[in-house]
Amino acid sequence: MPTFKELGLKQELLDAVEKLGFTEPTKVQELAIPTILASQRDLIALAQTGTGKTGAFGLPALNQIDTNSDNVQVLVLSPTRELAIQIARDLKDFAKYQKGVKTVAVYGGANISTQIKALNNGCQVVIGTPGRMLDLINRKKLDVRNVRTLVLDEADEMLNMGFQDDLDAILADTPREKQTLLFSATMPKAIAKMSAKYMNNPEEIEVGERNAGAKNVEHHYYMVHAKNRFEALKRIVDMNPDVYGIIFCRTRRETSEIAAKLNKDGYDVDLLNGDLSQAQRDDVMNRFRTKELELLVATDVAARGLDVNELTHVINYNLPDDLEVYIHRSGRTGRAGNSGIAISIIHTRETRRIRDLEKMSGKDFIKKEVPSGEEICGIRMLDLIDTIKDTKVNEDQLQKFLPQAMEKLAEMDREALIKKFLSVEFNQFLDYYSNSNDLNAQGGNDRKGSRNNDRGGRNDRGGRSGGRDRGITEAGYERFFINVGRRDGLNPVRLMGLVNEQLNGSKPDFGKIDLQNNFSFFEVETGYEGALTNGVTGAKFEGRDVAVERAQDDKKSNSGGGGRSGGGRRKSNDGGFPKGKRKSGNRKRSRK
């Protein structure tokens, strides 16, 4: 393993790296830095989040800056303001001993006047989001005509977020002769097109397998009926007392609903979505980084750029529509040499998508059973006992109260004392899970079933699945009729897009989609009837007026289950299981 000095960096940068405590370059840094410094060739670097990408492009870019000029020489584009802020902070640390080097971060959600003032004072490095950067260029406050190094960080995510037009406009103002560095975690076809459009004979380096997740992350999935998804989430959290992670949701509304429910049930949780102001976002992130929060409920867009290295879990409340996004999500855990677990809660028609993820990532996904209430209580009891054993006793302060306590408890033997203590701390928890149902569901393509089911089932978006009779709706779903079909150019993807668009971006779970020539049937998770019949009806599809109505009632299966509402770690002021509080040095829980 070469040292940073052997990579060809200036002494000022080496001093800064040493000050930051970095001793050896990461793999992507080892490959990228000398490549960037040795020539002006463009570069595509494929590497997962948390592998040191900022240093891989930031250090050589800073190494080549002309400090005698105040022209903008390095332009770094990132998909989110959080990531832009993080990159700017890292580059400032790297440039700590470089006299005359100035960096400015520009992004939405902050005062543009302050950013304009910083640009007017002169700088060589600008880091920002595409929207704000283009706004400043159009106002003629940001001059990119002298850019020497252009960095597209998280390029795949910028395309997923719809920044193609902004990128085109920004790059149109930059010089033809520049070095373009494209960093991405995945390599979808859109990235290949981007490199062909923006880059000149790029060199390519790859750290790890293409489109693969971090090697020290395990991938688990739980299969439940849609109506039991939230209850399954709570059980998964309860069976992991030391959980410190992110719950990924599809929509802002979903993050709000889940965070509110978990807060009500006494979990240390907050949400992160695009509705938050920058001040609110900073507050949430500060509490999460200091482990005041054990869980963060977030959308993919809001979570981009989070820099937290100790996450134990990433939980997919829903699988993302674009499976490559899963790679980004799972990459939030298992960072900086730590191990982690990526968990997905799926419904019975998504086993094919799990197979697709396995094929894409080269990882085995382990099917787990949602634990019973008895199993969870056993886990929580042992965790409580471990917490007690690890609790430090302040002998000096306790000594004055000990005689009275010993006198009070003198008549109780050891076993009775233990029973009483556990009952005080545990009764409500035991009560909540006393009659809990089995939440596990078996899909038609479940590995526990016959392999013949895999051959006989079809994908999760339509047709027969698992031998279930046509016309029988799965528990947790409702079946609807729509007056367009194959003849109109309808397919499952266009149908879901039509529904999601008319529901203002809300993305319900879809079940079976049954396409006919002139009409179709589709299943959607329970609770969307009003939104569908009122919101989608009247829309246009290929010139036709769309009509949606509830299909005739189907026989419903009685599978599923689910516990009572509430539960989990109940708040102590409700008389329930006390809300957890992290202790310094560990994440065991104690009574407040």
The confidence score (pLDDT) of residue 216 equals 80
Which of 373, 391, 420 marks a domain boundary? 373
Q: Does pLDDT of 418 surpass 90?
A: no
Q: Does pLDDT of 501 surpass 50?
A: yes
Nearest partner of 328 among 222, 182, 214, 161, judged by Cα: 214
The confidence score (pLDDT) of residue 150 equals 96
Query: Is 341 in the same domain as 314?
Result: yes
- Total number of domains in the chain: 3
Q: Does pLDDT of 348 surpass 90?
A: no
Q: Note down the domain range covering 102.
A: 5-206
Mean pLDDT of 257-285: 87
214 confidence band (pLDDT: 50, 70, 90): low
For 303-334, what is each residue's pLDDT tens digit?
A: 766 667 789 999 999 888 777 788 878 888 87
By mean pLDDT, which of 92-101, 419-428, 552-561, 568-577 is the weakest?
568-577
Q: How far is Cα of residue 19 from the mean position of the Cα atoms in its chain?
A: 31
By mean pLDDT, which of 9-13, 98-102, 444-448, 492-496 is the weakest?
444-448
Query: Is 10 in the same domain as 152?
Result: yes
Residue 414: Cβ-neighbour burial (10 angstroms; 0-12, 13-18, 19+): exposed
Q: Is 138 among the domain residues?
A: yes
570 confidence band (pLDDT: 50, 70, 90): very low
Q: Is 442 among the domain residues?
A: no
**Dist. CA 298–CA 286, nearest whole Å:** 15
The confidence score (pLDDT) of residue 553 equals 52
DSSP 8-state class, residue 551: P
Of all residues in the chain, the percent with pLDDT exceeding 70 is 83
Which of 535, 550, 565 marks a domain boundary? 550
Mean pLDDT of 128-157: 92
Query: Is 248 in the same domain as 176?
Result: no
Mean pLDDT of 422-451: 70
Q: Does pLDDT of 455 surpass 80?
A: no
Q: Is 211 among the domain residues?
A: no
For 115-139, what is each residue's pLDDT tens digit?
A: 999 999 999 999 999 999 999 999 9
Query: Is 165 in the same domain as 240?
Result: no
The confidence score (pLDDT) of residue 491 equals 85
CATH number at residue 495: 3.30.70.330
If one compares 262 and 435, the residue with the highest pLDDT of the two is 262
Q: Is 591 among the domain residues?
A: no
Q: Does pLDDT of 188 surpass 80?
A: no
Query: Is 194 in the same domain as 276?
Result: no
Mean pLDDT of 537-558: 73
Q: What is the 3-state secondary structure (H, E, C) of 522-537?
A: EEEECCCHHHHHHHCC
Query: Is 201 in the same domain as 262?
Result: no
Query: Is 201 in the same domain as 261?
Result: no
The confidence score (pLDDT) of residue 273 equals 84
The confidence score (pLDDT) of residue 443 equals 63
For 79-88, what is each residue's pLDDT tens digit?
A: 888 788 889 9
CATH number at residue 172: 3.40.50.300
Q: Is 417 among the domain residues?
A: no
**Dist. CA 350–CA 468, nearest whole Å:** 15
Q: Does pLDDT of 247 surpass 90?
A: yes
571 token code pair: 């708040």
Q: Is 381 among the domain residues?
A: no
The confidence score (pLDDT) of residue 305 equals 60
Query: Is 189 in the same domain as 100?
Result: yes
462 confidence band (pLDDT: 50, 70, 90): very low
Q: Where are the beta strands (DSSP E) in 347-426?
A: 365-367
Query: Is 176 in the same domain as 282?
Result: no
**Dist. CA 572–CA 578, nearest whole Å:** 4
**Dist. CA 305–CA 421, nearest whole Å:** 44
Q: Where are the beta strands (DSSP E) in 388-504?
A: 477-482
Q: Is 178 among the domain residues?
A: yes
Query: Is 335 in the same domain as 480?
Result: no
The confidence score (pLDDT) of residue 582 equals 34
Q: Does pLDDT of 504 surpass 50?
A: yes
Query: Is 169 in the same domain as 258?
Result: no
Q: Are 513 and 522 in contact (CB under 8 A)?
A: yes
DSSP 8-state class, residue 473: B
The confidence score (pLDDT) of residue 140 equals 95
Query: Is 167 in the same domain as 285?
Result: no
Q: Is 316 among the domain residues?
A: yes
Of all residues in the chain, the percent with pLDDT exceeding 90 is 32
The confidence score (pLDDT) of residue 473 equals 56
Q: Return the ∠ at Cα 76 (arms to 74 and 79), rounded to 5°.
A: 170
Q: Does pLDDT of 565 surpass 50?
A: no
By mean pLDDT, which of 19-23, 281-285, 468-472 is the weakest?
468-472
Q: Are 349 and 511 in contact (CB under 8 A)?
A: yes
The confidence score (pLDDT) of residue 1 equals 67
What's the pTM value of the predicted model, to 2 decimals? 0.56
**Dist. CA 38–CA 425, nearest whole Å:** 64
Q: Does pLDDT of 67 surpass 80?
A: yes
Which of 206, 235, 261 marks a domain boundary? 206
Average pLDDT along the chain: 81
Q: Does pLDDT of 506 surpass 90?
A: no
588 confidence band (pLDDT: 50, 70, 90): very low
Q: Are 90 and 58 in contact (CB under 8 A)?
A: yes
Place of tokens 């036709």: 544
191 confidence band (pLDDT: 50, 70, 90): confident
Mean pLDDT of 410-420: 88
